[in-house]
Structure 1
């Protein structure tokens, strides 16, 4: 039958997957995932509380770190219900519109995380290349405008995605590849031409995360150039040390994202387990590791945490 003659069909529900072939072990697999979510929520909430309570941390760098923590909390919250629902209760079905909603917020938060990492790279560049004007360039109002621009960019650029998916005719198969809804995964279920969806998804990822990554690389090229040109070489190490946490955050976000994008678009013959693991790394690892990295590598955050813990253990 020709594709043009297929009547319009949209499934009422979609079926989510956990770890293919390991369904019997899902209760055991849920244990590390529960640990991941506990660490992600507690770590990022602690970062937010520490920054809010310590006046010395009311600076552009830590405001941006707060945005990163909020974004990570959002990502963890988006995937938690369906992931633990599968592992604990074997709840695999999700309403089609609910799936599109989850997909929309997952992609919005991913774009926001990419944008926040770019803003943090710019913050480090200004702090190192022009420290005397740092506070006058990155004022509180500027940070607020950056935050609003980040949210607006993500919301507007991804707004057409659910509507582009709603117009498609789908096949009888309604099984997805993950325990959450992901745009490249959903369009594979369509029974008609998906060129518009594929092209739009590619344009969005290149215009957001792709552009962000290029500017982050450019920022560090300029940072290295500035540090190399410092007359006092003893300042080089402390200057670059402030960037270590951010570089780690960039790598743990962009490497899995690039890998997952390549897998969905080009690697059709790889084992399903590889696709599943990379997807979990992409969405679960950054919210877990980011607060740990910044707590360990950022001296001001570490000292503020120790002061807070000391006050709780030694009340006056």
Structure 2
């Protein structure tokens, strides 16, 4: 890796940088093109397909599926903020990026990731109202209320993340032009800065932990209340209520466990290689976008029926729909 850094073109100004995703195998980086291209194509196809089915299928026009569709859009957006640039770098060595472009990419990545956390929280709120206040569900979870919550969540993400990117834009960069990452992130960019950056690092850590702890705690509390509520209902209703929450629980565990592990590994710089840090970051951004559609496409019967209709499996879809009605 050191030989590669030394041989890299250093004539770039400190307003331009090189994104080097996996420095230890940089001379064989094209080997990474096929697996990452396949993953990105899968993310595009599956998330777009499921979002389309939720939009056009009348039976899926409800608050829960609105939030699921919003999650698919977030998955697609998060991957698209950096994957095209990363794939072009692997294929054609187009890994140069300006400081302005780096900051814009960072802003979109962080805003979308923060917004995703809030969408997970909104999905927990939806399940809480549906199970704990079923008679008032349609009065509380209206589409207007959901749109307001969505806009407020997006505003929250912008308010929390914009100061971090603004502070990064005011820093003087005088070290190497090489960012040892496949995308622009706060920690990777700060390594190239001159002067004291401890305050900016602290702010970034506090914001990330605040989002994870606050959202994670509220989701945990909502499910504790849900579990307490379903313990007092009849067995069949209890099973159905828990089943509707299982997909969301799996999703929340994957995202928050991924977030915590990625944050810890990326701060253990002396004991963890750059390639491992980048791999955990890639999993943080790409794993939910790959797993979420599969979880909901397989576990949620209404979405599965809609997909079967799309691919012509009408008879199987009808049987599942009939079994759903009988179960209700």
| TM-score normalised according to structure 1 size | 0.91
Structure 2 equivalent of residue 305 of structure 1: 307
Structure 2 equivalent of residue 144 of structure 1: 147
Tell me how far 1:266 sits from its aligned partner: 4.0
Three-state SS of the structure 1 residue aligned to 2:44 is: helix
Tell me how far 1:30 sits from its aligned partner: 1.2
CA distance in 1, matches of 2:288, 2:180: 21
Structure 1 equivalent of residue 185 of structure 2: 182
Structure 1 equivalent of residue 117 of structure 2: 114
Give CA deviations for 1:178-218 in whole Å, capped at 9, x if unaligned: 11001122112212111221222123213323211111111
Contact 2:175 2:193 in 1 (8 A): no
Structure 1 equivalent of residue 276 of structure 2: 274
Tell me how far 1:309 sits from its aligned partner: 2.1
Contact 2:123 2:248 in 1 (8 A): yes
Which of 48, 56, 61 aligns to 1:58? It is 61
CA distance in 2, matches of 1:254, 1:199: 20
Tell me how far 1:263 sits from its aligned partner: 2.3
CA distance in 1, matches of 2:255, 2:82: 16
Which of 221, 226, 229 aligns to 1:226? It is 229
CA distance in 1, matches of 2:258, 2:308: 32
| TM-score normalised according to structure 2 size | 0.88
Which of 103, 107, 120 aligns to 1:104? It is 107
Which of 289, 292, 300 aligns to 1:290? It is 292
Give CA deviations for 1:5-46 in whole Å, capped at 9, x if unaligned: xxxxx8111121122222233222211111111111111111
Q: Does residue 78 in structure 1 map to residue 81 in structure 2? A: yes
Contact 2:103 2:184 in 1 (8 A): yes
Which of 203, 209, 212 aligns to 1:200? It is 203
Q: Gaps spanning 5+ residues in structure 2: where?
A: 1-12, 315-328
Structure 2 equivalent of residue 69 of structure 1: 72
Q: Gaps spanning 5+ residues in structure 1: where?
A: 1-9
CA distance in 2, matches of 1:41, 1:237: 34
CA distance in 2, matches of 1:288, 1:241: 22
Structure 1 equivalent of residue 239 of structure 2: 237
CA distance in 2, matches of 1:271, 1:204: 25
Contact 2:22 2:275 in 1 (8 A): yes
Contact 2:81 2:108 in 1 (8 A): yes
Which of 8, 30, 40 aligns to 2:43? It is 40
CA distance in 2, matches of 1:256, 1:177: 21
CA distance in 1, matches of 2:228, 2:268: 37
Contact 1:14 1:94 in 2 (8 A): yes
Structure 2 equivalent of residue 20 of structure 1: 23
Three-state SS of the structure 2 residue aligned to 1:269 is: coil
Three-state SS of the structure 1 residue aligned to 2:94 is: coil
Contact 1:115 1:209 in 2 (8 A): no
Give the direction of change, closer, same or farther, for the CA distance of 1:187–1:301 in structure 2 (3 Å limit): same
Tell me how far 1:153 sits from its aligned partner: 0.6
Q: Does residue 250 in structure 1 map to residue 261 in structure 2? A: no
Structure 2 equivalent of residue 213 of structure 1: 216
Structure 1 equivalent of residue 132 of structure 2: 129
Three-state SS of the structure 2 residue aligned to 1:94 is: strand
CA distance in 1, matches of 2:228, 2:206: 32
State the aligned residue count: 303
Runs of 4+ in 1 over 4 A off after TM superposition: none
Structure 2 equivalent of residue 4 of structure 1: none
CA distance in 1, matches of 2:253, 2:25: 29
Structure 1 equivalent of residue 325 of structure 2: none
Tell me how far 1:106 sits from its aligned partner: 0.2
Indicate the RMSD between aligned Cα atoms, in angstroms. Answer: 1.8
